[in-house]
Chains A and B, each alone.
Chain A
Amino acid sequence: MWFLTHTWILPALMALSFVLILLFGKRLPRKGSEIGVVAVAICFALSLVTAGSWWNHINSDHSESEHAAGETLGTGSAVAAEHLEEPDPAAFDDVQDGCSRVVDEGAVGEHTEEAGHSEGSDEEHSLALTPGENASGTAPPAAGASQAEEGEGHATTKPVVRCAQWFPMGLEGSTTITVGTMVDGQSVFMLFVVSIISLLVHIYSTDYVNGDRRYTHYFAFLSLFTASMLFFVLSQSTIQMIVGWELVGVCSFALIGHWWEEKPNSDAALKAFLTNRVGDMGLLIGMTVLYFAADRSFSILDINIMAAEGEISHGLLLLASCCLIAAVMSKSGQFILHTWLPDAMAGPTPVSALIHAATMVVAGIYLVARLYPVFFEGLSIAGSSVNLLAVVGATTAMFGAFLAFVQKDVKKVLAYSTVSQLGFMVTALGVGAWTAAMFHLFTHAMFKACLFLGAGSMSHACHHSFNMVDDYGGLRKIMPRTFWTFIIATGALAGIFPLSGFWSKDEILAGTGSFVGAEGANGTYHVMLAMLVIGAFGTAAYMTRAIWYCFFGEYRGHGEPHESGPRITIPLIVLASLGAVVGFLNLPKEIGPISFPESLHTQFEQFVEPVGRYFPEISHASFNIPLALFSLAVAGLGVLLPYLYYWKGGLAPLRNLSERNALARVGKTVLVNKYYFDWLYTDVITGFVKGPLARAANWFNAHVLDAIVNGVGKGAVLTGRFVYDNIDQEVVDGAVNAAGTTASETGGVLRHLQSGRIQQYAALFFAATALLAGVFVVAAG
């Protein structure tokens, strides 16, 4: 339990590491990388322990209840209704007072001993505010009975929430903005993913960027990157999420632009940051809407509970989820805001691995998963067949895969592959397959990190080129370890049985609920299934193409490539093995006739998926053998066709198709130009804002506003000069002078009035006339 209440140590440790590296890194023997590696290693260890604690937590609390989360939950709405009416009184035992208004006011069980105990010494808690009272005793003790009934016993996840007051707002602090940690299966599993990928990337980097210009800064920002992501993952309030979200963004900015001497790199960094800023607009607005919708609360728990229990109007939820989808689109590289992701390859390769597997892009998925009730209710995911989230995801999954076909740069292939895979995850979330999305995130993190690091390994060998078409080839024999790990990861990505990708992707496909004989899905998303299958086929095909270019044929580059050192290959091996086996963590309950024992199946689901008031009642699609075979066949076809084309020289009609067929040519041009989105954003939108629009504003400033001001100013100065020349100098000064010199000079004053310039007289005359006449006219009227 101690580990669950003190998870703040993880981001704090990484942040400390950042500061230490920045301050002392350069003076250390290994230029600061040792601090980073040690810190992240400790983090990894802590995350493992935390995961263990969480496992104990959910099992010990519900040892008497069965984990029958699977299909039982989906059996009917009656269960859900009953569930809503009688919330488990103990569900929020582990939520500290003041962290969630709903929990404070509503059915709160006894204050657990741990919670009281944990408010011990650390400064975070000394700040803690404890408004609201424990309305203990109001909770009905009937929940236990209902659990016993029918053997349903749906276990309720007890999130461990700790928080401290960040700042007060409003009358007598009517709103308290809190900062803290919200620990449940979802965040614990993300802690694990982030820290393991980060650890391997750190180790890998010590070799990969060895001797770099800014080695120390590189590690400092890796630390900060990890810290930000951990901070984001552990967020207890939405405002904290925003902070983590943006910090992740700025770290990726710094790392993508790591080699900022060259303009393309800094351009890519800027593009990444600005695109994300566009999405952040949606984030800020969405969070604002949610804050007011949840009756002025930033607490994720509050928002989720209120959204899940229908206390927020559907319209507001829809609005908020649409705004947040914009944020997700930018952060997770979803279609039409994905353009920054491939460009982000300008950063060092380990950073790409980190961005694509565990941090930056995953943040968007995590955001949706975290606030899932908002999306689930807002988009009416259950029982529907189309919604924005699913459309965005499926489109991305399909079109991203197409784009990967025409890339020459191996990293860009992988980048578009990430875009496409993120599309899978988003679709999964969009169709209600929450667990499938999380599971795919998990498996994808492993094999995609492996692929990126493998690409880095190849480029390390081939003179820092990533151009697989021109500079690679035949690396199979030269770099066997890289080759085999790459092959395994590719197989996982393509969804080859029994590698991890197969299991997670199959779960997503089943989750669309569209395939014949599908059971237990939330809705029937036919279009999504079709697009995902096309995406899956594409994935297998472009990865096979990449493998051909990288590892087979003749070496096309120059110099003598060589296998990379152990600090590079060991992370590869670790990741490849993980990528191969993690799929078994979430085995279905039964595959046809074979049913797995309880301790084997759906372990991941039990670990990760929350059950309770703060999570919608989602159901889980069951494993479907025909679908699994179908998807396997699709992947096999995806491998087979390129195999015939490249290895065997077959499929002759397809060769140079784009030179013969106009339609194919157009298609290829569109793909090479990335659907013209870059052109639209850079040249049209940015160009317009930075060029004509900004210039127009500036022109307006200089020629209209300033001209008015200057005109008025000049008029005033002239009037002033006139007054000065004719009245002040002549009359007033004159009066003073005249009075001072002699009183006998009668008419002296008048004499000075005469400047002798007729026209001044005329002007004075007319002005005076006009004024007098004006006075009379007005007075007379």
Chain B
Amino acid sequence: MTDFLDNWGLILITFLPLVGALVMMVVPKEAEDTHKALAIVASGAALVITILLLANFDYDDAGTLQFLVDKEWIPLINSGFILGLDGISLPLVAMTALVVPLVAIYSWNHIPEPGNPKAFMALILILETGMIGSFVAQDLILFFVFFEVVLLPMYFMIGVWGGPERKYASIKFFLYTLFGSALMIVAFLSLYFLSAEQTFDMRVLTELGGLDIARTTQILIFGGMFMGFGIKVPMFPFHTWLPDAHTQAPTQGSVILAAVLLKLGTYGFVRIALPFLPEGAQWWAPIIGVLAVIGIIYGALGCLAQSDMKRLIAFSSVAHMGFVMLGIATLTDFGINAAMFGMVAHGLITGMLFFIAGSIKDRYHTLEIKRLGGLLISAPRLGWILGFSSMASLGLPGLAGFWGEFPAILSAYQPAPMLNEALFRTLMVIAALGTVLAAGYLLWLYQRTAFGTPSEEFADDPEITDVSTIEWISWAPMLVLIVVLGFLPSLIFDVTNPAATVVVAAATGS
């Protein structure tokens, strides 16, 4: 069993969803329930194997890659089919493997217009393959391939099942990320040609740690990666695709986008950019830090000005990812750990918020904040869940969000030795101000949607029902995890810490 997992575990979780999608291809389009069931089964199987992997993971050795798969792939350019799991990948893989089945379950009776579950569910499964693949790939080319695989299904998801402005949003999303990818691949290639050993193997590149690459070159290459990953995160000022994409995407798309897709960018920073190009990272760190903090404040202010609930949540993503990036920019163990935690917490919490927004939209057919109100009366449980998620999102201690924010703020007090302490301390104070604003916009949202009495328009609307069974099933795991992670942060920190120290050591050259 262990042997089997060692050799096949990662391949299975990566490609099982794809197999599921292929099977769906041969099932006729009319068998809608079969498609949904297939999708749940395929992603569920991946989840089960992920859980087995988690059970067999050696947590004491979380800093090294486990379940390694190392096959020859494109020998011509020294690119191998290398998959591996370590403390940085693990939480993200686990979260992806969890979120996708939940989304599939949620889709059981929430297929957005214009229907066609076959295509819709297939796209979700392909997405899962791309996302998990990106997180476990240990070869730059392989990573890039998976990274791009994610792009197309999401494009179609927004473009076909999205809201009224879907075309604009989907093209914007597509072009933006593609632009980033282009610079990223250039960075990868130059890394390949300039590094001491011409290889795409991440293990080797980490070990080399930018050896033989001149400082200026490192800065340039890092710049390319910065664009590629920064757009995905998204960092200010490359974030403008996000509100549009989120607002227009169907609920499932938003959830996956918020929960997993954004993490590809931050993951890229931690996994690739920092350890491969230490000097580049040190040069860029203050810039990243400043942009991250601008993002925090700017995202929060943006939230305050929104009238659409989904758009507000989308802007809050900008702010939250700002904390993640601030943590990364400090190049400290606390910072990287906070970033890793922040990624998972943001995935769960914002994913949850988008679920709720989707369900509110299903009931009210609008997300305009000023038309909502009295949710706690019309649908009390939904209102409670919204309140709970808002509290988690504003970083309430005892819930998951806090452990992404506070350590990030803490780490900025004392960044890595080569960074400017005064700058980062200023950033710390401003970031702390961001937590106030976060409380402001989330509570303000909550007050206007949930408190008060329902407007006449929706007072006796029979469509406004409380949380349905399907919704409970798909939400409960996330809600439980938000609490559990809030009280037992060690569940994640235990795993990420060994790996984060490796990254920090590589990035600061200590």
* Interface, chain A (partner B; CB < 8 A): 165-173, 239, 242-247, 250, 253, 257, 260-263, 266-267, 270, 273-274, 277-278, 280-281, 284-285, 288-289, 291-292, 686, 689-690, 693-698, 701, 705-706, 709, 713, 716
**B298→A260 contact, CB < 8 A:** no
**B304→A701 contact, CB < 8 A:** no
CA distance A273 to B409 in the complex (A): 20
Is there a chain A Cβ closer than 8 Å to B81's Cβ? no
Not counting A262-B452, A280-B435, a sample of 5 additional A-B residue pairs whose C-beta atoms are within 8 angstroms of each other reads A167-B493, A170-B334, A247-B397, A267-B447, A713-B172
Is there a chain A Cβ closer than 8 Å to B451's Cβ? yes
Identify B397's interface contact among A168, A243, A693, CB under 8 A. Answer: A243
Identify B451's interface contact among A168, A250, A257, A284, CB under 8 A. Answer: A257
Task: Pick out which of these stretches binds chain A: B363-371, B426-434, B462-470.
Answer: B426-434
> For residue B94, which residues in chain A have a CB less than 8 angstroms away from its CB?
none
The 10 closest A-B pairs by CB, nearest first: A694-B304, A698-B305, A167-B490, A697-B301, A243-B397, A167-B493, A694-B305, A260-B451, A266-B451, A277-B439
CA distance A253 to B398 in the complex (A): 15
Quick one: given A243-B402, A261-B453, are A168 and B494 in contact (CB under 8 Å)? yes
Interface string of B188-226 (1 = CB under 8 A from A): 000000000000000000000000000000000000000
Measured between C-beta atoms, what is the minimum distance from B44 to chain A in Å?
A: 27
CB neighbors of A among B226-260 (8 A): 237, 239-241, 243
> For residue B493, which residues in chain A have a CB less than 8 angstroms away from its CB?
167-169
**B489→A697 contact, CB < 8 A:** no
Quick one: given A167-B489, A246-B396, A697-B302, are A689 and B432 in contact (CB under 8 Å)? no
Quick one: given A250-B391, A266-B452, A697-B301, are A292 and B433 in contact (CB under 8 Å)? no
Number of B residues near A (Cβ < 8 Å) is 56
Quick one: given A167-B493, A243-B398, A701-B240, are A689 and B175 in contact (CB under 8 Å)? no
CA distance A173 to B337 in the complex (A): 12
CB neighbors of A among B295-350 (8 A): 298, 301-306, 333-334, 337
Identify B410's interface contact among A262, A263, A277, A291, CB under 8 A. Answer: A291
**B402→A274 contact, CB < 8 A:** no
**Beta-carbon nearest neighbor of A717 in chain B:** B171
**B301→A689 contact, CB < 8 A:** yes
**A697→B443 contact, CB < 8 A:** no
> For residue B432, which residues in chain A have a CB less than 8 angstroms away from its CB?
281, 284-285
**B406→A242 contact, CB < 8 A:** yes
**A284→B435 contact, CB < 8 A:** yes
> For residue B428, which residues in chain A have a CB less than 8 angstroms away from its CB?
285, 288
**A277→B452 contact, CB < 8 A:** no
Quick one: given A168-B493, A274-B443, are A261 and B436 in contact (CB under 8 Å)? no
**B172→A274 contact, CB < 8 A:** no
**A270→B447 contact, CB < 8 A:** yes
> For residue B144, which residues in chain A have a CB less than 8 angstroms away from its CB?
none
Interface of A is mostly: helix
Measured between C-beta atoms, what is the minimum distance from A539 to chain B in Å?
A: 33
**B501→A274 contact, CB < 8 A:** no
Identify A274's interface contact among B175, B305, B439, CB under 8 A. Answer: B439
> For residue B447, which residues in chain A have a CB less than 8 angstroms away from its CB?
266-267, 270
Measured between C-beta atoms, what is the minimum distance from B98 to chain A in Å?
A: 21
**A698→B333 contact, CB < 8 A:** no
CA distance A278 to B432 in the complex (A): 9
CA distance A166 to B443 in the complex (A): 29
Interface string of B418-450 (1 = CB under 8 A from A): 000000000011001101110110011001001
CA distance A165 to B302 in the complex (A): 39
Measured between C-beta atoms, what is the minimum distance from B247 to chain A in Å?
A: 13
**B439→A166 contact, CB < 8 A:** no
CA distance A629 to B88 in the complex (A): 69
CA distance A253 to B447 in the complex (A): 12
CA distance A662 to B376 in the complex (A): 49
Q: What are some 5 contacts across the A-B interface (CB < 8 A)?
A: A167-B493, A243-B398, A245-B397, A273-B443, A694-B305
Identify A281's interface contact among B333, B433, B494, CB under 8 A. Answer: B433
Quick one: given A167-B494, A168-B494, A242-B397, are A697 and B333 in contact (CB under 8 Å)? no
* Interface, chain B (partner A; CB < 8 A): 171-172, 175-176, 237, 239-241, 243, 298, 301-306, 333-334, 337, 374, 376-377, 391, 396-398, 402, 406-407, 409-410, 413-414, 428-429, 432-433, 435-437, 439-440, 443-444, 447, 450-453, 489-490, 493-494, 497, 501, 505
> For residue B402, which residues in chain A have a CB less than 8 angstroms away from its CB?
243, 246
Identify A168's interface contact among B396, B398, B439, B490, CB under 8 A. Answer: B490
**Beta-carbon nearest neighbor of B411 in chain A:** A288
**A169→B439 contact, CB < 8 A:** no
**A705→B237 contact, CB < 8 A:** yes
Measured between C-beta atoms, what is the minimum distance from B63 to chain A in Å?
A: 10
CA distance A54 to B450 in the complex (A): 46
CA distance A391 to B410 in the complex (A): 29
Quick one: given A246-B396, A274-B443, are A169 and B334 in contact (CB under 8 Å)? yes
Measured between C-beta atoms, what is the minimum distance from B33 to chain A in Å?
A: 33
Measured between C-beta atoms, what is the minimum distance from B373 to chain A in Å?
A: 10
**Beta-carbon nearest neighbor of A164 in chain B:** B490
**Beta-carbon nearest neighbor of B175 in chain A:** A713
CA distance A285 to B406 in the complex (A): 9
Quick one: given A170-B497, A263-B452, A694-B304, are A277 and B436 in contact (CB under 8 Å)? yes
CA distance A280 to B439 in the complex (A): 11
Measured between C-beta atoms, what is the minimum distance from B322 to chain A in Å?
A: 13
**A250→B396 contact, CB < 8 A:** yes
> For residue A291, which residues in chain B have a CB less than 8 angstroms away from its CB?
410, 413
> For residue B505, which residues in chain A have a CB less than 8 angstroms away from its CB?
171
CA distance A166 to B341 in the complex (A): 14
Most chain A CB inside 10 Å of its own CB: which residue of B176, B376, B398, B409: B398
> For residue A716, which residues in chain B have a CB less than 8 angstroms away from its CB?
175
**B413→A289 contact, CB < 8 A:** yes
Measured between C-beta atoms, what is the minimum distance from A247 to chain B in Å?
A: 5
**A166→B301 contact, CB < 8 A:** no
Quick one: given A698-B301, A705-B237, are A292 and B444 in contact (CB under 8 Å)? no
**B451→A263 contact, CB < 8 A:** yes
CA distance A245 to B407 in the complex (A): 17
**Beta-carbon nearest neighbor of B440 in chain A:** A274
**Beta-carbon nearest neighbor of B505 in chain A:** A171
> For residue B451, which residues in chain A have a CB less than 8 angstroms away from its CB?
257, 260-261, 263, 266
**A247→B302 contact, CB < 8 A:** no
Identify A709's interface contact among B240, B301, B376, B398, CB under 8 A. Answer: B240
Measured between C-beta atoms, what is the minimum distance from B236 to chain A in Å?
A: 9
**B489→A166 contact, CB < 8 A:** yes
**A273→B439 contact, CB < 8 A:** yes
Measured between C-beta atoms, what is the minimum distance from A201 to chain B in Å?
A: 22
CA distance A172 to B500 in the complex (A): 11
CA distance A158 to B453 in the complex (A): 55
**Beta-carbon nearest neighbor of A127 in chain B:** B490
CA distance A242 to B402 in the complex (A): 10
> For residue B497, which residues in chain A have a CB less than 8 angstroms away from its CB?
167-170, 173
**B397→A246 contact, CB < 8 A:** yes
**Beta-carbon nearest neighbor of A706 in chain B:** B240
**B377→A171 contact, CB < 8 A:** no
> For residue A173, which residues in chain B have a CB less than 8 angstroms away from its CB?
497
**Beta-carbon nearest neighbor of A240 in chain B:** B397
CA distance A694 to B396 in the complex (A): 23
**Beta-carbon nearest neighbor of B493 in chain A:** A167
**A170→B304 contact, CB < 8 A:** no
**B413→A288 contact, CB < 8 A:** yes
> For residue A246, which residues in chain B have a CB less than 8 angstroms away from its CB?
396-398, 402
Quick one: given A243-B397, A270-B443, are A288 and B240 in contact (CB under 8 Å)? no
Measured between C-beta atoms, what is the minimum distance from B109 to chain A in Å?
A: 27
CA distance A288 to B452 in the complex (A): 38
Identify A292's interface contact among B175, B413, B501, CB under 8 A. Answer: B413
Measured between C-beta atoms, what is the minimum distance from A22 to chain B in Å?
A: 10
Measured between C-beta atoms, what is the minimum distance from A625 to chain B in Å?
A: 48
> For residue B302, which residues in chain A have a CB less than 8 angstroms away from its CB?
694, 697-698, 701
CA distance A250 to B175 in the complex (A): 42
